[in-house]
Amino acid sequence: MQELAEILKPVEGIAREAGQILMDYYGEIRQIDYKGIGDIVTEADKAAEKLITERLESRFPDYATLGEEFGMSDVKSDNCWVTDPLDGTANYAARCPIFAVAIGLLHNGAPILGVVFDPNTDRMFSAVKGGGATLNGGSIRVNDRAKLDPIGLFGFGSPVLETLHPFIQKCGKGRSLGSAALHICSVATGYFDGSFDLYTKLWDIAAAAVILQEAGGIMTHPSGAPLFPLSSESSAYQGHDVPFLATNGRIHEECLKTLEENKDNLQP
């Protein structure tokens, strides 16, 4: 495998290219397809993923690729690119400027590189394993809040907001941005104390997971079990849900305890 630091800059460039495609289509979407209830895809998703996949496969022909729209490539490898060309499609289709491009690299099922690019604000979140996390080149860290606080911000997926009122009330001020990648990056920067969702996919979280880890945070299954590494047979590669709890680390055990107390409301 190439040195991760050498890989990062080209991947950031690919994310920027994909982000430009999204901005070129923004406000001009003519076709929206429905993959399921509340799950949509636009021509921008497909165009951005096509570019990302072509760029990655050209530069890294021995690596597998997994994308939200086009699935898994035929390449067998310990290294797998996991990409979400448009995390926040519902926002995008509604002309709400909160969405991102996410590109992550897994090695033997564990995240080792991640790039999340927000083309609306030109924010580039990046990390490689062991190299720290950055926002536009500047180091980022989780905040140091040591307990759940009513003034703290906590990111949730919208279905969770409807079912977990006791947990949300204890966490502080709930926020749902419509992008799991940006939720997790908001924890990495210290804006949010944590984020929790039951209905995310691997491509929603793979890139942001290593960014959070390198910023000093913790990300697990809501039960407390490790999320990574994934086994090669994990259903996550087939698009099954990957529930997660992401925090600054200091409040993680308290969050797990509170989730356990409200487990009857958890319906992954």
Number of domains composing the chain? 2
Coil, strand or helix at 204: helix
The answer to the question of residue 108 being in a domain is yes
Helices and strands of the chain, counted as H and E runs: 8, 15
Q: 182 φ, ψ to 5°?
A: -75, -30
The answer to the question of residue 77 being in a domain is yes
Examine the pLDDT at 199 and tell me if it is beyond 80: yes
Strand pairing category for 244-247 and 32-36: unpaired
Picking from 107, 139, 171, the residue at the C-terminal end of a domain is: 139
Q: Which two tokens stand for residue 168?
A: 């949300």
The answer to the question of residue 134 being in a domain is yes
What's the domain range around 126? Answer: 4-139
- When pLDDT is cut at 50, 70 and 90, the band that residue 257 belongs to is very high
Picking from 89, 114, 139, the residue at the C-terminal end of a domain is: 139
What pLDDT is attached to residue 74?
85
Lowest-pLDDT choice from 65-79, 180-194, 210-224:
65-79
- 69, 116: one domain: yes
CATH number at residue 119: 3.30.540.10
CATH number at residue 255: 3.40.190.80
- 22, 131: one domain: yes
Closest CA to 83 of 46, 134, 40: 46
- 111, 185: one domain: no
- When pLDDT is cut at 50, 70 and 90, the band that residue 34 belongs to is low
